[in-house]
Structure formats: structure tokens, C-alpha cells
A and B are shown apart, each in its own frame.
Chain A
Amino acid sequence: MAIELIKPGLATTVQDAGRPGYYHLGIPLSGAMDQESYHQANWLVGNPDSSAVLECTLMAPELCFHADAVLAITGAQTTPKLNGVEVPRNTSFAVKCGDRLSFDFFKLGARLYIAVAGGIDVPLVLGSRSTYGLGAFGGLHGRKLQAGDVLPVGQPIAKPLIGKTLPDTLRLPLCKEVQLRVLPGLYFHRLQDESVQSFFADTWRVAPEADRIGYRYKGGTALKFHERIPPFGAGSDPSNIVDAGYPYGSIQVPAGLEPIILHRDAVSGGGYAMLGTVISADMDLIAQMQPNHNAHFVRVDMAQALAARAERRQRLALQREALS
């Protein structure tokens, strides 16, 4: 079984649950940016949790199937069409050898996931099939997919069910405006009080520079840091620190101008002060933000972060149960 890319889409890559354990060498987690949608897609086609899928960004690819298969599409809201006829999202369906799958533009959301029963069977690199573009490894030849690429598909572990559906009531809705919960910390103390106020009060718009490495936001008030004598090795700008590790989800503001939230292909470290971190429960929401969508940063404490994490875990457990 194989899948051929007729049109590649804007940025289509092979991704899975990620590649932990190598961040100290500058190799980031990678993996699907919206892990919730990624898991849903695999559960719909009966794949194990770590199976690789296609992650499609802002504009989906056109695919041709070289054998019969079972598929599921989750994430961004768009109209999938099999040989020109609409097929449902969030529902498993069968394709025949020679069928073509295409998509409309994305009405909401920024990332679409396509799972196939058996999983995309590219080689494991450091324990994961995820593409890491900057390092040029993982996925298919370490890069975004191109027209003409042929992706191998693995053998399904059991015969997948057709027509399995994830009820809408179990899914989070996609929105154009989201609230991202932030735990202040790291170098938050270096921000001036008025900047603390404005950071949480302003509306921040996703800039065109928003990718798997990080999301940049514009439109809020420039942030001011307390003046200081630069520590040895830090650099002269008040937003500089001695180069340090960057947490996933951490928010840095080079020169105080535009906040950048690091995501799953994060640069692992650098010399910009971070003022806090988006909580783990909200990282999937960032992945579904299109350029020009709005975000509000909401200040939370650790107890609230952990409660939100537990809530997400319970929601995923219910989805999994509904699809098992």
C-alpha cells in the first residue's frame, strides 16, 4: 500500500507523537502540533497511539491511493472530497485503489490530520517518524512533501471499522479568537508593571511568521523590561539573557516587540528573556490558529494549569473510549 502526492499542499509533513529525549542536543520534540486531533485521527482508523499521520498546514494536499485503505480526517474545518464527492470529517471511510482525495480551503483551523489504517510507514529516526525540517531528518527524506512523493503505508493491526464517528459533543470547537492560558515565570520579573498589564489586556494577532518552530504575535503594546547593567555574556539589549534553554510553549519577546511562542519544532535555546509559558492544555489551540486570528493571554497559576491539564486528559480519555 502507498499514497502518492498529486499536489503537495502548503506544508504537508509526516508527524507522530514526537521524539522526546534529545532536546539537550538541540533536537526538538517535533510531532503533530495539535496532538488532540492527531490522536483522534489514529483512534478513528484503529491505529496504535504512536502511528504516523499527515499534518497539512493551511492548504491540504491532493492524494492518490495505490491500494484500498481506510482513512480519517480531523483537525481544521474544510470539505474533503473523494473523487469529487464530499466525505465526512471526523469519521472513518474507505478508499479504493486509484481514488483521489482533495480538499477545499480551510474555513477554520490551520492544521488538518489525515490518518490511514496501518500508519505512514517511513523509517523511525531516534524513535520517531516525525519530520524535523531544520535538521532535515525524519518523515520522508527529512522535508515537506512534494508532488510525486510516494508514502509507504504499514499493515493495519486489525481490520479497521468504516463509519466510526467522533461525536461533535466530545470535540473542542475551532475558533477565530482564542484564550491562551499563561503561567508567568522564567524572566517575568524583568518586565515593567505597565507591560505586565498590557500583555494580558491587549489583543494579539497571529503574524505571517507562524510555523512549527514558533508562533509570532503582533498588534499589542511593545513591552518594556527593567533597565539593568547587562550580566557578563548576556548581550546589551534589556531583553537579552545568557543563552539558556527554552521550554516548549515559552514566550520570548525579542527587543520587547513581538511575542513568540515556541512550539514542537522549537529552537532549544537562545538569548532572549522568556516571560512565561503557555500551559500544556492550550498548546493544541495554537496549532489551529491561522495568521490574523486573535489571541488573548490569560494569567493562571499552577493549580489552574494542572486542572486544565486534567480536564484535557479526561476529554481525550472519553474520545478514546468512544472510538474503541
Chain B
Amino acid sequence: MSPSIGQGTTLGKARYTFGGDEHVFVEISESMSLPAFFKSMAICTELKKRAVPGVTEICPANASYLVRFDPDVMDPDSMMRCLQDIEASVGAADMDLQTRIIEVPVLYNDPWTHETLMRFRERHQDPTSTDLEYAARINHFKTVDEFIQAHSASPWFVSMVGFVAGLPFLFQMVEQPRQLEVPKYLSPRTDTPKLTLGHGGCFSCIYSVRGAGGYQMFGVTPAPIFDPAQGLPYLKELMVFFKPGDIVKWKPIDRHEYDTIARDVAAGTYQLPIRPVTFSLTAFWADPDTYNQELLQVFHGH
């Protein structure tokens, strides 16, 4: 199969612009793509490695990145030149990523997001159907189950963490024609249950905290991903679980499994399945489906 983006896609030179006197904003590409995300990650990884004096924040995003710096330590033009030098130095070899893959349990079509989406129906494009029914229909699936199958079969990259603390944006590792696209709500909700699996544009997300939101709601995970109290084993190191570059496999679960995991979470004993992996963008584009299935082998028989 020939991917519509990827090997065939040549990214142009990035666009550099200042965000006031303390930030450089670098747009790798106006549109979202895996190569744009990988280039942003590669530059941010190299910048971090160089430990450039004055740099206080390095924030990779979907197809861009943001650097905050102290212009009293390094002047803005030098800062920008430093980032341009790094862009010139990253090559194909930097498109390999040492990362981890995580199996995240999801109760799709759960009662809590269902209750919430019914409350905000007047803000939705299609008040007569649910978010999942709407998403399935406009993405040309016959049933909600087929849509859930497409959403959960292939893994996703965490392409950005942010908006609020610990919220991951995820981009599915499939060719662009197979990307699931759903518009955001016409007007944002004032409420979203904690740990809702949402989707807007081509991105999925997990709402790390309860609050406002405009993404369509597909389900909920019982696994906390942000906890200042750091009660669970996988949150001991940092209160935020996800990092840009993480790979996520959604695992559809039923209500019984949800309740079992929720009990383990309450007891502080729940452990998310996490495995280290190396991801190669080149090998992926050669045959995405086969490559994805090989990646997912780590959860079976190892």
C-alpha cells in the first residue's frame, strides 16, 4: 500500500516566529502529519540534549513546537539561529524513537459520557443521535461497533500533552484517508467527565480533569492519567503520566472489567500495561498495518 503522506511527503522548511521577547514558535507544517510530528519531536529532543543556556521550556506539539527562553541569557536572534541549526542537522536517522507503548482500557459508550452528552445536545451538530452514532455516520461506518473497531484497532501517537495538566492529544498511526475526522461541538460544553476519551478534528484526547470541553465524547477510561497525590505505581515518578511520543493502544473493555479496574485503582494497586519499544518511521511507512501489528505483539506472549 502506498501512504498518501510519509515517504512521499517532503516537509518544507519550518516557519520561525517570535512569541514576544521570551518565546520562539516554530511551525514545522500547517497541516498535521506524522512526519511533521516526528520532525518536531526530533528537534526538541536534540535541543534538550544540547542543554542550551537560557532555555526554560521545550514544548513539542502536533506539527510545531514552542521554546521559552530568557533573552537576558541568550538574545532572541541567537536563539532562533540555534533552532535553525538544529533543524538543518536532524536527518532520517533521527526519525527513530525510543519510546513506550501503553494499553489503555476504554469503556466505549459508557453511561457517564452518555448522560453528559444528552445534557448538552443543543450544542451538537446532530441533536438526534449520540456522539458515537454521529462520528460513525460521518466517517462512513455502518455501525457504532465498526467505528469503535476502527478507533481501537490501530495504535495512536501522543503528539502533544497540554491544554490543561496532563491532557494527551493523540494522532492515529494510519494513512491519512483512514484518519477519523469529527468536528468539535458547535459550542463547547461546560462539563466533561474526568477521563473521557474525546475526539475533535483528527485528534483523540483523554480529559485528565473534569471541566469544559468541545471534543466529541466516545467513552471513558478507569485509569487515572493525572494525580497530584501520585497514588498509583505508574504516577509515582511524576503526577502527569503521558509524554509526547508515547504510543497508545485503546483496549475496549466491558462494564465488568471497568468495575474491576476501578476497584484496583481505588486500592492503589492498578498498573497500566506499559512496554518499551523502538519506533521507526521509515519501517512504519513501508507497511503501516503489519508494522502496527508487530508493535502490538509486546502485549502478547512476551
Mutual binders A and B: yes
- A residues within 8 Å of B by Cβ? 20-27, 125-126, 132, 134-137, 142, 183, 185-186, 231-236, 241-250, 267-271, 274, 276-280, 302, 305-306, 309, 313
CB-CB nearest in chain A for B242:
A25
Instruction: Report whether A232 and B32 are in contact in the complex, using a CB–CB cutoff of 8 Å.
Output: yes
Q: List A contacts of B63 (CB < 8 A).
A: 233, 242, 244
Q: Would A250 and B32 count as touching, CB distance under 8 A?
A: no
A231-B31, A244-B63 are known contacts. Are A186 and B17 too (CB-CB below 8 A)? yes
Q: Is the CB of A137 within 8 A of B32?
A: no
Instruction: Give the contacting residue for A244; candidates B64, B68, B201, B211; CB below 8 A.
Output: B64
Q: Give complex CA distance A31, B25 in Å.
A: 23
Q: What are 10 pairs between A and B in contact, CB < 8 Å?
A: A25-B238, A26-B162, A27-B166, A135-B226, A183-B21, A245-B66, A268-B164, A271-B201, A280-B21, A305-B20
- Tell me the smallest distance from the CB of B69 to a CB of chain A, in Å: 11
Q: What 1/0 flags go to B28-41 for Cβ under 8 Å of A?
A: 01111100000000
Say if the beta carbon of B244 comes within 8 Å of chain A: yes
Q: Do A24 and B72 touch across chains, with their CB atoms under 8 A apart?
A: no
Q: Which B residues lie at the A interface, using CB under 8 A? A: 17-23, 25, 27, 29-33, 56-66, 68, 71-72, 75-76, 160-167, 169, 171, 176, 183-184, 200-203, 208-209, 211, 226, 228, 238-240, 243-244
Q: How far is the CB of A93 from chain B (nearest CB, A)?
A: 34
Q: How far, in Å, is B84 (CB) from chain A's closest CB? A: 16
Which residues from chain A contact B71 at a C-beta distance below 8 Å? 306, 309
Q: Are A135 and B164 in contact (CB under 8 A)?
A: yes
- Given A21-B56, A26-B167, A268-B162, A242–B64 Cβ distance below 8 Å? yes
Measured CB to CB, the nearest residue on chain B to A233 is B32
Q: Given A23-B59, A242-B62, check contact A232 B18 (CB 8 Å).
A: no
Q: Does B18 lie within 8 Å of A135, measured CB to CB?
A: no
Cα distance, A183 to B24, chains bound together (Å): 12
Q: Is the CB of A302 within 8 A of B161?
A: no
